[in-house]
């Protein structure tokens, strides 16, 4: 049995993982899903990480922090996942459609440093959504999410402040095994862009699955299959 710590992205909370949690538990694993303080403008990545650690401790009660943690970090959660892996015993860090951090760079600097705007503009043109993506979040984020799940998500919006982007520079990347899972139809972080960042920033070749930016909502079974494959390959 492993303990999965699932870190959600921006404008989100632990509900994002609600289709994944029962699948992991059915496979015999423990699952911890922190709710990061995304609505508090005074909170950035250090505070998000503190919240995740507090949630882990609350989950385990008087027991020691598990030593078999698999941290799964989605989208903006990549920064929190990386910092968390420097502070708790971590067997595996998995980025999922995530913002791969770089030591000495702030989250706010990530966009320009990675060449994100040009990469997204090019992909928007390729998929025929140029000029439309900011008008309807469904075009960018929910295009492959089932209609009922999309409707529920849109009924429960989670405000996101810019606190994370004012955070201090990231430290050295944690010295733990790492995987990077991109989604080939991701309209937020295009696949070719993510392939490049995985190599440049993490020194690895990204793994890939189908679907868009929200795989836990759109394709939970495939996401769990990938996570379990990573776990087995890591010898956990």
Task: Report, as an integer, the average pLDDT of 114-121.
Answer: 96
Q: What domains does the chain contain, in order, with CATH numbers? A: 3-233 (3.40.50.1820)
Residue 164 has pLDDT above 90, yes or no: yes
- Indicate if the alpha-carbon torsion angle 188, 193, 194, 198 is positive or negative: negative
> What is the share, in percent, of the chain residues with pLDDT greater than 70?
96
pLDDT of the residue at 215: 98
How many residues are present in the chain? Answer: 236
Do the Cβ atoms of 212 and 184 come closer than 8 Å? no
At residue 91 the predicted structure's pLDDT band, cuts being 50, 70 and 90, is very high
Q: Average per-residue pLDDT in the chain?
A: 95
User: Which residues, other chains included, contact 91 with Cβ-Cβ below 8 Å and sequence gap of 6+?
Assistant: 2, 67, 68, 69, 70, 176, 177, 234, 236
pLDDT of the residue at 63: 65
pLDDT of the residue at 135: 54
Strand partners, 182: 208
pLDDT of the residue at 68: 81
| 166 token code pair | 């004012």
| 209 token code pair | 């699955």
Q: Match 């810019």 to its residue by tokens.
A: 162
Could you report the per-residue pLDDT of 165-201, keeping only the tens digit for each? Answer: 999 999 999 999 999 999 999 999 999 999 999 999 9
At residue 30 the predicted structure's pLDDT band, cuts being 50, 70 and 90, is very high
At residue 62 the predicted structure's pLDDT band, cuts being 50, 70 and 90, is low
Alpha helix positions (H), 74-219: 77-84, 110-114, 116-127, 137-140, 147-155, 191-197, 215-218
Residue 133 has pLDDT above 60, yes or no: no
Of 86-90, 135-139, 217-221, minimum mean pLDDT range: 135-139
Q: Give the count of beta carbons closer than 10 Å to the beta carbon of residue 104.
A: 10
């Amino acid at each position: 049995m492993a303990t999965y710590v699932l870190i959600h992205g921006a404008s989100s909370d632990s509900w994002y993982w609600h289709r994944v949690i029962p699948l992991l538990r059915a496979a015999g694993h423990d699952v911890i899903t922190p709710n990061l303080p995304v609505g508090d403008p005074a909170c950035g990545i250090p505070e998000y990480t503190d919240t995740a650690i507090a949630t882990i401790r609350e989950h385990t009660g008087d027991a020691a922090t598990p030593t078999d943690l698999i941290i799964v970090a989605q989208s903006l959660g990549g920064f929190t996942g990386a910092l968390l892996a420097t502070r708790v015993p971590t067997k595996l860090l998995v980025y999922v459609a995530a913002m791969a951090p770089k030591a000495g760079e702030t989250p706010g600097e990530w966009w320009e440093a990675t060449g994100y705007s040009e990469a997204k503009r090019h992909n928007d043109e390729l998929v025929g959504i140029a000029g439309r993506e900011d008008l309807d979040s469904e075009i960018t984020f929910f295009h492959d999410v089932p209609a009922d799940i999309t409707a529920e998500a849109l009924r429960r919006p989670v405000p996101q402040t810019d606190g994370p982007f004012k955070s201090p520079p990231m430290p050295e990347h944690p010295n733990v095994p790492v995987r990077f899972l991109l989604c080939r139809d991701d309209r937020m972080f295009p696949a070719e862009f993510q392939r490049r960042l995985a190599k440049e920033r993490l020194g690895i070749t990204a793994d890939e699955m189908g679907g868009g930016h929200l795989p836990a909502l759109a394709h939970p079974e495939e996401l769990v299959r990938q996570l379990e494959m990573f776990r087995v390959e890591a010898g956990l």
